[in-house]
Amino acid sequence: MAPIRFMQTTKKAVQLVRHFGPGWVCFRLVHALRARAGGLRRGMPAQEWREQPLKGLLKDPALAEPRAYLDYRHAHAPVFFFEPARRRDYSSFFAQWDAEAGSPVALAESLRQGKLRYFARVDGEVGFPPDWHGNPFSGVRAPVDLHWSRIGDFGFGDIKVIWEPNRFGFAYDLVRAYRRTGDER
């Protein structure tokens, strides 16, 4: 049985290299070794937000102060596509988009009601504020005290379902909805 398993493993390895290339395969091997050895956990420790002050994340720590940032934005902000005061001039361009069920305004309202669109296809009940560790399709939650590198790809359903809200793809829908309505809800 061992020779058959070796042949199957070798065949899979060759297919991986053929499809993804040797660079990607090497990257994944190193990544897997670092994860198993705890290198990812030590290199990117999980921290509370209060342990990561904004000043430490900015090139210019002075911009962490709200007033200083507002002044900076007023002085250096690039022009957006159109001025907010001219929203009505451009509303006709959005009419077709907004008539659909998947319009940004409808998606923003859905999010406010605790429903999040996953992978631009299917809605999941995540609550409001969202349950960042839950899988709304399986009902399973990933442990909040476990480092992300220790969570298996399928231990709590498909890990991509848990990670999807944390990618903040819905922010685009919120910005688009705000641009159309000016409603800050």
Q: pLDDT tens for residues 137-154?
A: 999 999 988 888 888 888
DSSP-assigned beta bridge partners for residue 11: none
Q: Flag whether pLDDT at 83 surpasses 80.
A: no
How much is the average pLDDT of 11-34?
A: 93
Q: Flag whether pLDDT at 76 surpasses 80.
A: yes
Yes or no: say if 25 and 17 are a contact pair by the CB < 8 Å rule. Answer: yes
- The Cα–Cα gap between 31 and 154 comes to 18
pLDDT-based confidence at 126, cuts 50/70/90?
very high
3-state secondary structure of 9: helix
Q: Exposure pattern of 78-112 as b/e (b: 16+ CB <10 Å)?
A: eeeeeeeeeeeeeeeebeeebeeeebbbebbebbe
Q: Which residue has the tokens 């442990």?
A: 143
- Average pLDDT value over all residues in the chain: 87
The candidate with the shortest Cα–Cα distance to 162, out of 185, 141, 183, 181, is: 141
pLDDT attached to residue 109: 92
Q: Flag whether pLDDT at 117 surpasses 80.
A: yes
Which one has a higher pLDDT value, 156 or 126? 126
